[in-house]
Structure 1
Amino acid sequence: MNTIAQTRETYWGITSVEYAVFYLLAAIAVIVLAYGVYQRFARYAEGDDDSFARVDDLQNRILNASKIVLSNEKQFNRDLYGGLMHSFIMWGFLTLLIATLIIMADEYAAQKIFQMTFWEGDFYLAYSFIVDAMGLLFVVGLGMAIYRRYWVRNHRLWDRHTSAEDDVFIWTLFALGIGGFLLEGLRIYSAGMPDHEIVSFVGYGLALGFNGIGLATLGTEQAGLNGAGLNVENLHWLAWWSHSLLAFFFIAWIPYAKPFHMLSSFANVVTRDEKAGQRLPNVPSDLDATNAESIDDFTWKEILDQDACTKCGRCSSVCPAKASDRPLDPRNVILDLKSYREDLDAGGEEQPIIADGGTSVINAETMESCMACMACMDACPVEIEHLKSFTRLNRQMTDQGDVAPSMQDVFQNVMQNGNTFGDSPRNRADWSEDLEFDVTDAREEKVDYLWYVGDFPSYDERNKQVARSLATILKEADVSFGILFDDEKFDGNDIRRVGEELLYVELAGHHVETWEDCEFDKIVCTDPHSYNTFKNEYPEVNFDEFADDPMMPFDYDEQWNEDGEIDVYHWTQAVEELVADGKLDLTGTELDYTVTYHDPCHLGRYNDEYEAPRELIKATGCTLDEMPRNRSNSFCCGGGGGGLWMDFEEEPKPSEERIREALEDTDAGSGVEKFVVACPMCMTMYEDGRKTGGYEDEIEVVDVAELIVEAIGKADEAQVEVAAD
């Protein structure tokens, strides 16, 4: 082949006037794009400051975000089809964008400045092949999206926020992809189908098709075709301008509708908090700053979250509240806030952000339904921090008094007695009286493990058995441990997520001040909720802001455990270490049960601890049959976010659905004998679900600790018969 011939004319068939019009329209489209992007980011600047650093170490943030976005790793999470579809579209789009920039670079830099061109020969051939290959993937990906949206009608994609912009977005991209190939095929056919253009295999294939149907050219005589002006040159001109005008429309439209997610999603991943959900923002002394009285109370990051939402519905599809027909759809909460903000910016009327009945953006019952399980955040491909906005709404709801009476009772119990049961603090350690040994008072004696027992293991009869089991395990391992007796109070994790920040600070201040007077090496928690808030949230509280407040029952004025010098463990992590160190012998134990294990949200999704409980279960000799939804995909028991204390009319309950899953969807099916948990709240919810779902005779709910004490032959010492109510 002649090397010089291995290129093509960029603006073939376009006059100098049309050339000028083309670039005028291009400039207008870019100006409209730039202005729209400026408006978006100017709106973010109007939002409140975020309490977490979002742009520190920006270089590494951008690099990490690029890895997440370009690999599409979040899109592949639980959805291979969706991952492939999005990868094809994204990589195809980026390739076509880069290809366009290369043409611009050659046209205006190489040719006009350096009087040369690189867009020929081997470079041109490689360019043409890659662009056709990736363009084809682009069209295939869009075809997959169209098939899923309109043929299959995937339930995730259709809801009240589904609108015409979704249709325009997908069909515009599809028309651009198809139009580009059509334009290429017409050009190749009109040029006489040069041999080197075979590298543009899609366009060349279309050219063969045009040749097969005998499409006229200006140099041919075909009656009825040329006379009507239907020839390849005219078709190419029409296709060129149609493709260009559609591209200009899309460019200008980007900041004003769904395409903006191409920018906002990347920005959202760059500015994400890697501990989002695990921790909530520091509680300022001015609690009004944390509320959602108006849309202006939301931080710039929370507004960016709203713009980053692509309406994919992945959060909705994994939400246990939505699955139980509670009135919560995480996607709709984010999009409702966005719609309200945009309506206000356009001159709409203000209304309450959240209220119990009446006209408001969000109904109080919607937020009461949230279990704070973080499944929505785990599933979100663009790192939207739902829980941060949800907690802001809950704070506002609590401040207004729009809280369910049952939750108000819980608040009252905690304020008066330091626990959610309303029982006397003096009775907190009564569970230990039936043990064959005394439990050390950590306030009076140095211990290795300061054990935070928690409300339910202290007061709930079923969970008291778990507390006794764990105490027996620690005693058998010959480690020193102690508890706080009546100085232990509720940890505050769940009432904080319901919106009661001030009471949370009181509890946190009391505990860190009490711990300061104790000598210990590690804090060990029975409850994953306690574990999460001690490990991730107590260190975030600026106690100095509250130390002089006469309403606060503490004088502590430092930042507790800011550098992480005190290790905080869930008990399964601590006991796994004891087993690994040979302090607790589980070798040779054979319980011979077939069991399944439920990952607690606050241990798994919140803190990425999946293996410690499983290793302990396997060490007892049990056969572990995994649930279909396990680890990060675990299904919430329904007790988080205050759900434990609320009554919902739901069918089925999350706990009932989960037990059904254990008995019907695991490999062992009805052969599963024990449903194993590692959380007191899960124990309570599943014992209830076992009864209300009619599964009492089919499966037993046990804690990991109860398996271990049975395996080491200490079950009789740990368990005390509980009289039936």
Structure 2
Amino acid sequence: MTNFGYALGVMQQEPVTRETFWRISPVGEVMFYFLAAVTVVWFLWGVYDRFARYSDGTADHAARLDDLPARIGRAAKVVLTNEKQFNRDFVGGVMHAFILWGFLTLLIGTTILAIDMDIWTKALGQPSFFVGDFYRSYSLVMDAMGLLFVVGVGVAIYRRYGLRMERLWDKHNSWEDAFLVWSLFLLGVGGYVVEGLRILGNDYPPHETVSFVGWFVALVFETGGVDQSMAGAVYPFAWWSHALLAFGFIVAVPYAKPFHMISSFANVVTNDDKAGKRLPGIPMDLDHTNAEDIDDFSWKEILDQDACTKCGRCSSVCPAKASGRPLDPRNVILDLKSYREDLDAGETESKPIVADGGGVIEAETMESCMACMACMDACPVDIEHLSSFTKMNRQLTDEGELAPSIQDMFQNVMQKGNTFGDPNRKRADWTEDLDFEVTDAREEPVDYLWYVGDYPSFDDRNKAVARSLATIFEASDVSVGILYDDEVYDGNDVRRVGEEFLFLEQAGTLVESFEACEFDTLVCTDPHSYNTFKNEYPEIDFEEFADDPMMEFDVEGFWNRRDEVEVLHYTQVVQDLVQSGSLPLDGTELDYTVTYHDPCHLGRYNDEYEAPRNLVRATGCDLHEMPRNRANSFCCGGGGGGLWMDFEEEPKPSEERLREALEDTEAGTAIEKFVVACPMCLTMYEDGRKTGGFEGDIEIVGLSELLAEAIESKGISVGSSGTSESATPADD
């Protein structure tokens, strides 16, 4: 008989399946079920106990469990597609996909086997379905996906211990990290060892060729001198080692890093899609505390701490950390977690959460945050860093532990209504250089109410931005008006620094002015203002603060709760004007080689990336992207109060960004202009151009200035002597 005929005959005689408890005694089988039951109970109790701890946290400001089926569906999509794992790290995404899909396949396969053994055949008395083509398919899929799992874990081990990737190593590394990767690796490899010994011990059953990895392992054993009898003798030891390691891993899940498999999914389910861009308010409660104690954190903020996988993605994109400031977003979250766990275990004494020396988190660490949201954008498990950071900033504000420059800025806002401390009656002086009148929106209806903002109103360099934007609106012949001296600071950054009540006072004062005007659309020069008007003002119940004597405004209830007023950034408005033909630019006016910087509050905060780029192209400029663009944009350093603080950092975020524009962009030193669409960015980059030695290499220009120059070159008459001046940035 030929080999093929012999094999076919054997396949017809032998059942196409395998014995699950091969060479395991009846006593061993009973012991296995006993240990399995103990493991499951231990696991369930541990998970319950872990989640029960969240009840120690305070209530959360956001609705976290509304429309739960949709939330679970979104979380399943995020997790199963690994879409966030691919963000900024393609290899890491592939690695994690292999691990996740391989692990889930092995888990499902084990569950199917248990159903067949323990329910289908033993409990229900039905013949096993673990035979024939089902068994072949099962074996093939399990071997293939198990191989991907081992490869994925192997890459993880190589990146951690071979390459020693910097973001994977920090002070919070512990036995948990090694336990996770090595136990998974040993489980994956151990499964193939057990399979290889079984195949060799059964003298290579022909139907087991579908288990191609196990078959290969059996051949390796045989080549190494292991014969059939030896394989049968060693098999029980290998089988029990594999089983006990699996039980140990399952028991460890609720108590160590593997818990992130559960907590991370829960974190994605309970995600607030507006986290960061809108911050939680503070109730009018004299007993309210912000972050005096670990119990002041909400249950979601505690879940954030448990969901952290120590991957370091947030740290690797943090501009504060890159500039040498004492902030590492990962370590802040993990420091809070470690303190909470040590406190629960009685291993540490109670101490301030945030303080200038002696706190869980140092005050300088929180002052370093730029509120750019890069950490949140990079986080694959939706940790909402800014919620916890703001809570600690508010605690520092309550205790008066703020940098003097920030306190001076607060005083300016309280006394003058602006961050500069200038008389607010001078807010519209920038209009005096225009040959046309800018409409007073307090006196007549307009289509667009233009919130100019502090820097375009008071900063000499940014006044050119205001004049150029006024020129654009005049050339477009649209109805635009401003509030003149009734405009006050919007409060965005003072809120992110921690001064909630000053923010509320400014918001109420502005809303009172808004409600006194007749307009359709609110347009902002500054992305910071745009974000706070769009996402934060509608969340405030002004009536709650009506009786506070410090709140000198008369506003009832909410403002713009149902989006009655459209809120836009000026780039969105001007893009519409260009596309409608109201601003006739055809892309031939200018021929500069430029790059564009995405402001955090316009891009990452509000997903507006294309309007500014469309406008740059509309002027005819040759646009070249920096490597870090759109959601991956690198912060200028001015957010979160950074504009008013002095840090001894090297290099400054603004200097690093200008270096990137000139060295890492495809056009390199051919870049003539660095285009920005944010007054704060303009200020920071003008400073970085000087301190970084880039004055002769590149020009910082506001996008509105570029557009005004294009209008002038087009010969569009706007009746403004300020056109020429606004088309070219003011001298440094």
The two structures share one fold, judged by TM-score above 0.5? yes
- Is it true that 1:202 corresponds to 2:201 in the alignment? no
Moved more, 473-482 or 715-724: 715-724
- Is it true that 1:350 corresponds to 2:323 in the alignment? no
- Superimposed CA distance per residue, residues 278-327 of structure 1 (whole angstroms, 9 cap, x where no aligned partner): 11113321276461110000000000000000000000000000000000
Q: Look up the match of 2:8.
A: none
- State the Cα distance separating 1:234 from its structure 2 match: 2.2
Q: Look up the match of 1:224.
A: none
- Superimposed CA distance per residue, residues 513-566 of structure 1 (whole angstroms, 9 cap, x where no aligned partner): 111111000000000000000000000111121012122101212111111111
- State the Cα distance separating 1:4 from its structure 2 match: 6.1
Q: Look up the match of 1:317.
A: 316
Normalised to the residue count of structure 2, the TM-score between the two structures is 0.96
- State the Cα distance separating 1:512 from its structure 2 match: 1.0
Contact 1:289/1:297 (8 A) holds in 2: no
Distance in structure 2 (CA, Å) of the matches to 1:137 and 1:448: 59
Moved more, 444-453 or 713-722: 713-722
Q: Look up the match of 2:172.
A: 161
- Is it true that 1:5 corresponds to 2:10 in the alignment? no
Q: Look up the match of 1:717.
A: 722
Q: Look up the match of 1:304.
A: 303
CA separation of 1:411 and 1:10: change in aligned 2, threshold 3 A: same
- Superimposed CA distance per residue, residues 149-186 of structure 1 (whole angstroms, 9 cap, x where no aligned partner): 00100000000011111011111111101100000000
Contact 2:167/2:313 (8 A) holds in 1: yes
- Superimposed CA distance per residue, residues 360-395 of structure 1 (whole angstroms, 9 cap, x where no aligned partner): 100000000000000000000000000111000100
Q: Look up the match of 1:565.
A: 564
Q: Look up the match of 2:204.
A: 193
Q: Look up the match of 1:228.
A: none
Distance in structure 2 (CA, Å) of the matches to 1:81 and 1:34: 34
- Superimposed CA distance per residue, residues 405-449 of structure 1 (whole angstroms, 9 cap, x where no aligned partner): 000000000000000000001000000011010111111110000
Distance in structure 2 (CA, Å) of the matches to 1:212 and 1:669: 58
Distance in structure 1 (CA, Å) of the matches to 2:22 and 2:125: 22
Q: Look up the match of 1:226.
A: none
Equivalent residue letter for 2:641: G
Q: Look up the match of 2:41.
A: 31
Contact 1:418/1:489 (8 A) holds in 2: yes
- State the Cα distance separating 1:588 from its structure 2 match: 5.1
1:370-409 paired onto structure 2 within 5 Å: 370-409=369-408
- Superimposed CA distance per residue, residues 12-46 of structure 1 (whole angstroms, 9 cap, x where no aligned partner): 11111111111111111111111111111111122
Moved more, 285-294 or 681-690: 285-294
Contact 2:709/2:724 (8 A) holds in 1: no
Q: Look up the match of 1:150.
A: 161
Equivalent residue letter for 2:722: E
Q: Look up the match of 2:715.
A: none
**Where does the alignment leave 5 or more consecutive residues of structure 1 unmatched?**
219-230
Distance in structure 2 (CA, Å) of the matches to 1:199 and 1:533: 60
- Is it true that 1:265 corresponds to 2:228 in the alignment? no
Distance in structure 1 (CA, Å) of the matches to 2:322 and 2:600: 16
Distance in structure 2 (CA, Å) of the matches to 1:723 and 1:477: 24
- State the Cα distance separating 1:201 from its structure 2 match: 0.3
Q: Look up the match of 2:128.
A: 117
Q: Look up the match of 1:512.
A: 511
Distance in structure 2 (CA, Å) of the matches to 1:560 and 1:329: 37
- State the Cα distance separating 1:720 from its structure 2 match: 4.1
Distance in structure 1 (CA, Å) of the matches to 2:226 and 2:572: 74
1:19-418 paired onto structure 2 within 5 Å: 19-112=29-122, 113-218=124-229, 231-286=230-285, 289=288, 291-347=290-346, 348-357=348-357, 359-418=358-417
Identity fraction in percent: 68
- Superimposed CA distance per residue, residues 51-107 of structure 1 (whole angstroms, 9 cap, x where no aligned partner): 100010000100011000000000001101100110111111111100110011001
Moved more, 26-35 or 687-696: 26-35
Moved more, 549-558 or 409-418: 549-558
Q: Tell me the secondary structure at the aligned position of residue 697 of structure 1.
A: coil
Distance in structure 2 (CA, Å) of the matches to 1:188 and 1:627: 56
Equivalent residue letter for 2:164: R
Equivalent residue letter for 2:589: E
Distance in structure 1 (CA, Å) of the matches to 2:107 and 2:534: 45
CA separation of 1:530 and 1:2: change in aligned 2, threshold 3 A: same
Q: Look up the match of 1:587.
A: 586
Equivalent residue letter for 1:547: A
Moved more, 450-459 or 42-51: 42-51
Contact 2:23/2:236 (8 A) holds in 1: yes
- State the Cα distance separating 1:212 from its structure 2 match: 2.6
- State the Cα distance separating 1:216 from its structure 2 match: 3.2
Q: Tell me the secondary structure at the aligned position of residue 40 of structure 1.
A: helix
Contact 2:587/2:617 (8 A) holds in 1: no
**Where does the alignment leave 5 or more consecutive residues of structure 2 unmatched?**
1-10, 713-717
Distance in structure 2 (CA, Å) of the matches to 1:653 and 1:58: 44
Q: Look up the match of 2:681.
A: 682
Distance in structure 2 (CA, Å) of the matches to 1:275 and 1:604: 14
Contact 2:409/2:420 (8 A) holds in 1: yes
- State the Cα distance separating 1:724 from its structure 2 match: 7.0
Distance in structure 1 (CA, Å) of the matches to 2:721 and 2:620: 19
Q: Look up the match of 2:28.
A: 18
Contact 1:290/1:395 (8 A) holds in 2: no
Q: Look up the match of 2:703.
A: 704
CA separation of 1:180 and 1:417: change in aligned 2, threshold 3 A: same
Distance in structure 2 (CA, Å) of the matches to 1:209 and 1:660: 54
- State the Cα distance separating 1:719 from its structure 2 match: 4.9
